[in-house]
Amino acid sequence: MIIYTDGSTNGNLSSCGGIFRDSNSKFIFCFGENTGTGNSLHAELSRAMRAMRAIELAHSHQWSNLWLEADSELVIKAFKNSSLVPWNLRNKWLNCAHLTRRMNFLATHIFREGNECTDSLASLGFNTTHCTIWMNLPNSIRSFYVKNILGLPNFRFKTF
C-alpha cells in the first residue's frame, strides 16, 4: 500500500489529506481533515499529524506493507530521530512509530510537484469538521489523479 500525504494552511486554518493506492497505483481511498488553527508553527505540526493519521488508517485496515511518501523531509527524518517531533505530538508519534515496526514500512520524500492529488485533498480538508474518508475518488481531484497515473509531468512555475 502506498500513501501520499500533504498539508495546507491558509493563515487561519490548517488541514491535511492523503490518498491510499495499491502497488499498481489503483485508488483505494483518500482522506482530508481540518487540523485546526493555522499558523506557520501549526503548519509544521500538521506535517507530522498527516503522517500519523495515514499510519493509523493503515493500521486500522490491518495493512502490513506501507510506503509513505511525504513532501516534508522533516517528517521523513523524524522516523529516524523522534526528537525532531514537537513535544506535544511526541507521545502520539512514538505510538505510530511503534505501529510501523509491526509493518513492512518505508518512508520517502516526494517533491511537492508530484503531489497534486493530496494537495487538493488537503484543501478539501479545510471544509471538514473531522477526518473525512472518501471511498470513491472525489471529482475535484479526478483530473490530477488521471494525470498522475499517466505519468504526465506537473510543473510549478515561479516568478522572480
150 DSSP assignment: T
The three cell numbers locating residue 64:
502490513
Whether residue 44 lies inside any domain: the answer is yes
The three cell numbers locating residue 117:
492529488
Largest CA distance in the chain: 47
Give the pLDDT score at 46.
Answer: 63
Q: At what angle do helices 139-149 and 116-125 cross, to 10 degrees?
A: 160
Whether residue 117 lies inside any domain: the answer is yes
The three cell numbers locating residue 137:
475518488
Residues 6+ apart with CB under 8 A from 141: 19, 30, 116, 117, 120, 121, 124
Count of CB atoms situated within 10 Å of the CB of 4: 25
Whether residue 158 lies inside any domain: the answer is no
Whether residue 65 lies inside any domain: the answer is yes
Instruction: Check which CATH number belongs to the domain holding 57 and give it.
Output: 3.30.420.10
Whether residue 157 lies inside any domain: the answer is no
Element (H, E) at 28: strand 27-37
Give the pLDDT score at 69.
Answer: 86
Give me the number of domains the chain comprises. 1
Are 82 and 90 contacting, i.e. CB atoms less than 8 angstroms apart? yes
Give the pLDDT score at 50.
Answer: 78
Whether residue 156 lies inside any domain: the answer is no
Whether residue 136 lies inside any domain: the answer is yes
Whether residue 160 lies inside any domain: the answer is no
> Residue written as cell 500533504?
6
Domain that holds residue 28: 2-149
- pTM to 2 decimals? 0.77
160 residues of the chain, pLDDT tens digit each? 888 887 777 777 778 888 899 888 889 999 988 877 665 555 556 667 778 888 998 999 999 899 988 877 888 888 888 888 877 778 888 898 899 998 999 988 877 656 777 788 888 888 888 888 899 999 988 888 888 777 766 665 556 6
